[in-house]
Amino acid sequence: MTTSAPSTRTRHVVARAGEIKPGDRKLVEIAGRPIALFNLNGEFFAIGDKCPHEAGSLCKGKLGSFADSDEPGKYHLTHQGEVIKCPWHGWEFDIRTGQSYCDPQQVRVRSYDAGVAHGSDLLTGPFKAETYKVTVEEDYVVINL
């Protein structure tokens, strides 16, 4: 999570911070690219919305955990609430990194640098916000791209 962006990238204002509650998500688009944005206990994470398998919309999936096991008959859960499961065939992705569970080396979705910026910060620097009227009073979710 960052609140400022390197100068080579553009800050895209994609939502008001208050409109996505913890545990919730929103489908946003930057330059025609669909991106799934998640609020995980107040932190924001963004990954490409299209599943690398058959392009199901990850934003429509279920959030859950990875179930891991060291031997048959035993299991434990990790990454609770941080795993999005594709609504089509259930491939699982870590919303922090975009990595898949079954093939983390080769299968991943792009993860984007998302964070919260205060309206007053934004008004001083370059940013893009087509549908939001940015005001100094509010916090916004920003994706750096």
Contact yes or no for 81/39 (Cβ under 8 A):
no
Question: What three-state secondary structure class fits 66?
Answer: strand
Query: Is residue 143 near ligand FES by the rule CB under 6 A?
Result: no
**If binding is defined by CB under 8 A, does position 60 make contact with another protein?**
yes
Cα dist from 122 to 4, 9, 16, 94, 140, whole Å: 9, 14, 13, 29, 9
Give CA–CA dist 32/54, Å, rounded: 19
- Is residue 35 involved in binding ligand FES (CB under 6 A)? no
CB 76 within 8 A of CB 68: yes
Residue number with CB closer to ligand FES (88 or 132)? 88
**DSSP-derived secondary structure letter, 24:** -
Instruction: Give dist(CA 124, CA 111) in Å, integer.
Output: 27
Q: Does 48 bind ligand FES (CB under 6 A)?
A: no
Residue 66 contact partner, candidates another protein, ligand FES, none, CB within 5 to 8 A by sort of partner = none
**Of the candidate residues 56, 98, 115, 119, the single one contacting another protein (CB under 8 A):** 56
**From CA 85, how far away is CA 62, in angstroms rounded?**
5
- Give the nearest distance from C-beta 99 to another protein in angstroms: 20
Should residue 47 be labelled a site residue for another protein when binding is judged by CB under 8 A? no
For residue 64, the partner it binds in another protein, ligand FES, none, with Cβ less than 5 to 8 A by kind, is none
Binding site for another protein (CB under 8 A): 12-15, 26-30, 34, 49, 53-57, 60-62, 87-90, 128-132
